Amino acid sequence: MSKPIVAIVGRPNVGKSTFFNRIVGRRVSIVEDTPGVTRDRIYAEAEWNNIHFALIDTGGIEPSSADIILSQMREQAQIAMDMADVILFMCDGKDGLTTADREVGIMLRRTGKKVILVINKIDVPSKLPDDFYDFYELGLGEPIAISSANMLNFGDVLDEIVESFPKDIYDDEEETEF
Ligand code: GDP
Ligand code: MG
C-alpha cells in the first residue's frame, strides 16, 4: 500500500507553504509576502506518530486578479481532488471567510473526500476573531484554528489527518512490526 497523500489547498498567501515547511521540518517550499509564489506542486514526506504520508503544497503563479485567483484555486482543488486521500483546506483567519473560500469549499465538499478545514494566522488562540465562526458556513465541519508561524495546534491537525487515512494503512503499519 502506497503512502497516503495529503494536499494543502487554499488562496494565495494564507500560509500553505509556511505550514508545509514546518511539517516537513525543512524549508522546501518558498514562503513569500507576494501571493502566489509557490510555482509548482511540491511534495515531501511527513510523519506523525509513526504514520508516514506524502504532503503536497499547491500554489499558483502570480495571480493578479480575483478571477485568476479563483481559477487557480479551482485548478488546485481539482488536482488535490484527483490525487489526495485527504485535503487540507487552509483559510486565513485574519481575512475571514472570502468568496473564493466559499467557491472552493463547495468544490471540495462535492468530492466526497475527507476535507480538514484549518484557519491559519490565529496567532493568539485565546482570542479567536469575531468572524471565526463564519467558517462553519463552509459545511466542512469544525474549523481548526492554527498558527503556522508559531506552530500552534499542529497536533490537532496532524491527529485529524492520520485518523482520516483509510484503515488498511494502519493495518499495513502493524504488519511491518511482526
Ligand atoms: P501561501 O501563498 O499560502 O503558500 O502562503 P505563505 O506560506 O507563502 O505565507 C504568506 C504570508 O503569510 C507570509 O508572509 C507568511 O510569513 C505569513 N504567514 C504564514 N503563516 C502565518 C501565521 O500563522 N501567522 C501570521 N501572522 N502570518 C503567517
Ligand atoms: Mg505557497
Instruction: State how far the Cα of 178 lies from the Cα of 167, in Å rounded to an integer.
Output: 18
How much distance in Å is there from the Cα of 150 to the middle of ligand 2? 17
pLDDT of 62 reads: 42
Exposure on the CB side of residue 90, measured as CA atoms within 13 A: 29
Instruction: State how far the Cα of 130 lies from the Cα of 72, in Å rounded to an integer.
Output: 29
Q: In this structure, are residues 21 and 29 in contact, taking their beta carbons and an 8 Å threshold?
A: yes
pLDDT of 79 reads: 75
Q: List per-block mean pLDDT (blocks of 10 residues) for the chain, which spans 178 residues.
A: 87 91 75 52 85 83 60 74 90 95 89 94 94 97 97 96 81 50
Q: How many CB atoms lie within 10 A of CB 33?
A: 6
Name the CA radius of gyration of the chain, rounded.
16
Atom of ligand 1 nearest to the CA of 14: 3
pLDDT of 80 reads: 74
Q: What is the pTM of this model?
A: 0.87
pLDDT of 123 reads: 97
Ligand 1 neighbours by CB, cut-off 6 Å: 10, 12-18, 31-33, 35, 38, 59, 120-121, 123, 147-149
Residues near ion ligand 2 (CB < 5 Å) are 16-17, 38, 59
| Ligand nearest to the Cα of 32, by number | 1
